[in-house]
Amino acid sequence: MFDYSFQRGDKHRTNHFGIANGHNITITNSVFDGDYNTGIGHGLGLQITGSSKITISNSLFRKWWKALTAFKTTHLTLSRNQFYDIRADGMALSGIDNLTIELNRFHTFRGGNSRDHRDMIQLMRTTNRGSSNIVIRDNVFDIGAGDYTQTIFMGKSGKNTSDPLLRHKNVLIENNVIYNAHMHGISVHGADNLSIRKNSIIRVRQPKGGKVSIPRINISYSTSVVIEQNVVSGINGYQNQKDWAVLNNVIVQDQSPSSPGYYDREFIYYATGAANGFHEYGVRPGSEVDRLKAGSTLVNNYPTRQ
């Protein structure tokens, strides 16, 4: 149990637990328990810097400003963890080589009245370099009963991504499920050799009548791109580039019952939103999603049907 208790005067950017210049370290079956300041998460949970061969698995992160941050690290594995009640970022990472993020669950982030830039996963360039050999696979991202967030976001970070050192390389985003209400479902800028495959990116409505936006796949300034067999409301960035392949994606929407891809014809609603604490949309037999075998296989084995 890594337990933080808020004290008056604590800065929200203060880091409370860390691995610095470490090698071959595993933390598993643990809890990183933050605390509240005025009802929302406060402080940085676990920070990893200048390290190699680090594994964080089967652990829980809750009640933080930012839960897990990592910089200038190689061979980082983040597996089977749960992140919830986070105020800003679940993971904020920069300058990582050989990164695996798999089988995690992110849900019910709570920004409160803060103006934080919320991402479930954010890859940055704050270390003045990109990251490489990135796998983000088999994760569930769910707004649940919380506030909307950006989900998987690899933005420009204010850098000149024409510089080869600042570009992300060899990125695979595969078989994830996203239930969210922000346009940045999967957004990647400045990547070379990028594959986005078999993800289910589903718009859900913000609880309590809040802001609604529709999550999409947004790709810019990237090369050697494959986008295939995703279920999503839209794909931005494809303009017939010769080194892009965009194949067998199913475009879905919840705006017009008479138009193609309407949710009621594509999904079975096993659980929805705040009433259940999570979302669960199965694939309707005979739908276009079913015919093209598109989207994440995780929707076939979800909590209420295990």
Could you read off the pLDDT of 102-112 as tens digits, one per residue? 999 999 999 87
| Residue numbers of the domain that contains 6 | 2-256
Half-sphere exposure of 275 (CA within 13 A, CB side): 6
Residue 70 lies in a domain: yes
pLDDT value at position 18? 97
Distance CA 238, CA 221 (A): 10
CB-based burial label for 15 (10 Å; 0-12, 13-18, 19+): middle
Residue 176 lies in a domain: yes
What mean pLDDT do residues 271-285 have?
84
What CATH number does residue 22 fall under? 2.160.20.10
What mean pLDDT do residues 157-177 have?
97
Q: Does residue 199 contact residue 175 with C-beta atoms inside 8 Å?
A: yes
Q: Dmax over Cα atoms in the chain, in whole Å?
A: 58
Amino acid code (one letter) for 296: S
Residue 266 lies in a domain: no
Distance CA 39, CA 41 (A): 7
Amino acid code (one letter) for 204: V
Average pLDDT, the chain: 94
Distance CA 87, CA 109 (A): 6
- Number of domains comprising the chain: 1
Provide the whole-model pTM: 0.96
Residue 285 lies in a domain: no
What mean pLDDT do residues 281-290 have?
96
- What does DSSP assign to residue 205? P
Give one word for 142, left, alpha or beta, with left for phi > 0 and alpha for psi -120 to 50: beta
% of the chain at pLDDT higher than 70: 94
**Residue among 165, 214, 217 at smallest CA distance from 195:** 217
Would you state the structure tokens that stand for residue 83, as one six-digit string? 């992140």
pLDDT tens figures, 217-259: 999 999 999 999 999 999 999 999 999 999 999 999 999 999 9
pLDDT tens figures, 22-77: 999 999 999 999 999 999 999 999 999 999 999 999 999 999 999 999 999 999 99
**Residue among 204, 255, 214, 262 at smallest CA distance from 236:** 214
pLDDT value at position 209? 56
Q: How confident is the model at residue 306 (pLDDT cuts 50, 70, 90)?
A: very low
pLDDT value at position 221? 97
Long-range contacts of residues 101-105, Cβ cutoff 8 Å, at least 24 apart:
101/134, 101/135, 101/136, 101/137, 101/139, 102/78, 102/135, 102/136, 102/137, 102/138, 102/139, 103/79, 103/137, 103/138, 103/139, 104/78, 104/79, 104/80, 104/139, 104/140, 105/81, 105/139, 105/140, 105/142
> 300 phi and psi, to 5 degrees?
-85, -10
Q: How confident is the model at residue 5 (pLDDT cuts 50, 70, 90)?
A: very high
The position carrying tokens 């529709």 is 214
Residue 143 lies in a domain: yes
**DSSP labels, 122-135:** EEE-TTSS--EEEE
Q: How confident is the model at residue 208 (pLDDT cuts 50, 70, 90)?
A: low
Q: How confident is the model at residue 284 (pLDDT cuts 50, 70, 90)?
A: very high
Residue 201 lies in a domain: yes
% of the chain at pLDDT higher than 90: 87
Residue 275 lies in a domain: no
Residue 80 lies in a domain: yes
Most confident of 9-18, 138-147, 214-223: 214-223
